[in-house]
């Protein structure tokens, strides 16, 4: 930490799927100010999910102003001490905007949206290798999950996008790109950039060169001039422009949310974390080598902490619906009045009573990759109560995470050492639920470690910015002993035969979700 400055602060913009927040940390990575704002989710058709980019931008502005005000009111000299800003964001969510007006040409298409399924099927049919045509270059299969397919939909279906591309007035980006462009001036010279982690989720970046892949762009007929410049996760990108309460402060870190959480959890090679938010995302740091999965996982970037720093890669398994299932219980079924109520309700029963809930609302991601899947609840009897359903919803998150972890064990070159020493670090809002964490340990059959600060996504963005500006050194950030201080460890208590039976029943329930998409649409 800088010892010459009395007050040293780093801020983090954390723009998620359902909310935005701005958190200010001091030099010991302690939170000294924060603000949080939810924003609107749009569902124009079954399987479609959109966000208003202008509402997202406004939510970030409010969060920054309010967090600075709170920290200042508490006696912290943020104006003098704020050294850098890091940014982390929901990944894959895609938008195109006009560089002349600064206005979006369509709503942002959210990562879980499945409207591109027909485009995926078309590409699988037309390209050699089918679904895996781009895997060697990008690490990713053809799927509605990734940004390139959403961009193709916009190019094929939105006249304003077609016209803007024709007139050289279109800019493509994920949410990080949209925010940085606006933070650094927008139409008055805003910087059009993305980072390696977000770029790795578009299907368009070459995992080895960390540059846009020319052959992929040609195959998909995507013009290179609409794409942002790719930078590392930890470097000074540019300064925040006028009109923001933190004008003049450098943006010095940018990572997709799951990569930021890996850094916030200080995951080294061979270490894994699971973030529980709208979805659940499990990443295993595989070091400087790209590990190819044969069990339904993705090869991706972990982080690259500087332009000349080595690249850490990861295996990832993404679960589309985790905390979103709790929101569904609250908002659509009215079984609970707030998300925090689910733990109390689920504790009213000792088990799920034979209920298995598979939240395949928009298909299933890793390791199944079934866009035709739709949600099911199986095992219902007259004995079933809302408490059983609540507990089954919690179990569904943990079963899905276990599925991914099992695939990681099979894929990893360190399989044996992982089996012997494997610890799962967890973070995200849902991890405050002690029952959820105990269920995860039980179904996984291994310990789950929850840090004292569960908002590790924002912390990772702050670390990246602090590293680039000299606030921290890597040995400070990767001091795992300090990071694990005051952590809570959940250890498995379930008998092995019970675990095995429940996993078998879960797999049967998952199989019931396949080929149901026509019923939903």
Three-state SS for 191-245 is: CCEEEHHHHCCCCCECCCCCCECHHHHHHHCCCHHHCCEEECCEEEEEECCCCCC
Surface-to-core class of residue 218, CB atoms within 10 Å of its CB (0-12 exposed, 13-18 middle, 19+ buried): exposed
User: How many CA atoms are closer than 13 Å to the CA of 271, on its beta-carbon side?
Assistant: 17
Cis peptide before 318 (omega within 30 of 0): no
- What is the value of pTM for the model shown? 0.86
Is 479's pLDDT higher than 80?
A: no
Q: Mind listing the domains of the chain with CATH numbers?
A: 9-257 (3.30.420.40)
- pLDDT tens digit sequence for 316-351: 998 888 888 999 999 998 999 988 899 999 999 999
Mean of per-residue pLDDT scores for the chain: 90
Is 3's pLDDT higher than 50?
A: no
Is 4's pLDDT higher than 70?
A: no
- pLDDT tens digit sequence for 137-148: 999 999 998 999
């Amino acid at each position: 930490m800088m010892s010459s400055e009395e007050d040293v602060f780093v801020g983090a913009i954390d723009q998620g799927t359902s909310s935005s927040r701005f958190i200010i940390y001091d030099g010991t990575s302690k939170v000294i100010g924060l603000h949080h704002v939810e924003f609107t989710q749009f569902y124009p058709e079954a399987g479609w999910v959109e966000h208003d980019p202008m509402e997202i931008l406004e939510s970030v502005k409010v969060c920054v102003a309010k967090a600075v005000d709170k920290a200042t009111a508490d006696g912290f000299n943020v104006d003098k001490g704020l050294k850098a800003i890091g940014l982390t964001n929901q990944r894959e969510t895609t938008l195109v905007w006009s560089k002349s007006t600064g206005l979006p040409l369509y709503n942002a298409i959210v990562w879980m949206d499945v409207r591109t399924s027909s485009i995926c099927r078309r590409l699988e049919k037309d390209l050699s290798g089918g679904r895996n045509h781009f895997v060697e270059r990008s690490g990713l299969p053809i799927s509605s999950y990734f940004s390139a397919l959403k961009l193709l939909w916009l190019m094929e279906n939105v006249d304003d996008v077609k016209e803007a591309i024709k007139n050289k007035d279109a800019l493509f980006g994920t949410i990080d790109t949209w925010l940085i462009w606006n933070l650094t001036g927008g139409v008055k010279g805003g910087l059009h950039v993305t980072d390696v982690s977000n770029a790795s989720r578009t299907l368009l970046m070459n995992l080895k060169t960390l540059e846009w892949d020319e052959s992929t762009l040609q195959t998909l007929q995507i013009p290179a001039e609409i794409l942002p410049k790719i930078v590392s996760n930890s470097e000074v990108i540019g300064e925040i422009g006028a009109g923001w309460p933190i004008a003049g402060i450098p943006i010095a870190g940018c990572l997709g949310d799951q990569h930021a959480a890996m850094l916030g959890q200080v995951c080294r090679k061979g270490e894994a974390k699971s973030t529980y938010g709208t979805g659940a995302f499990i990443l295993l740091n595989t070091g400087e080598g790209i590990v190819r999965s044969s069990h339904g996982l993705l090869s991706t970037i972990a982080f690259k902490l500087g332009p000349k720093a080595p690249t850490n890669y990861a295996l990832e398994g993404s679960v589309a619906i985790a905390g979103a299932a709790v929101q569904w219980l609250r908002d659509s079924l009215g079984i609970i009045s707030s998300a925090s109520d689910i733990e109390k309700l689920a504790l009213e029963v000792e088990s799920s009573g034979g209920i298995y809930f598979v939240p395949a609302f928009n298909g299933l991601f890793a390791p199944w990759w079934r866009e035709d899947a739709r949600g099911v609840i199986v095992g219902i009897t007259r004995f079933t109560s809302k408490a059983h359903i609540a507990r089954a919803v919690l179990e569904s998150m943990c079963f899905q995470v276990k599925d991914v972890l099992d695939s990681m064990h099979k894929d990893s070159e360190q399989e044996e050492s992982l089996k012997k020493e494997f610890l799962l670090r967890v973070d995200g809002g849902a991890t405050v639920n002690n029952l959820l964490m105990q269920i995860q340990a039980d179904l996984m059959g291994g310990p789950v470690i929850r840090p004292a600060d569960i908002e590790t996504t924002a912390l990772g963005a702050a670390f990246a910015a602090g590293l680039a500006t000299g606030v921290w050194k890597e040995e400070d950030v990767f001091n795992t002993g300090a990071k694990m201080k005051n952590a809570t460890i959940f250890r498995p208590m379930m008998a092995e035969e019970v675990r095995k039976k429940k996993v078998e029943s879960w797999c049967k329930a998952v199989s019931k979700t396949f080929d149901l998409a026509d019923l939903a649409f």
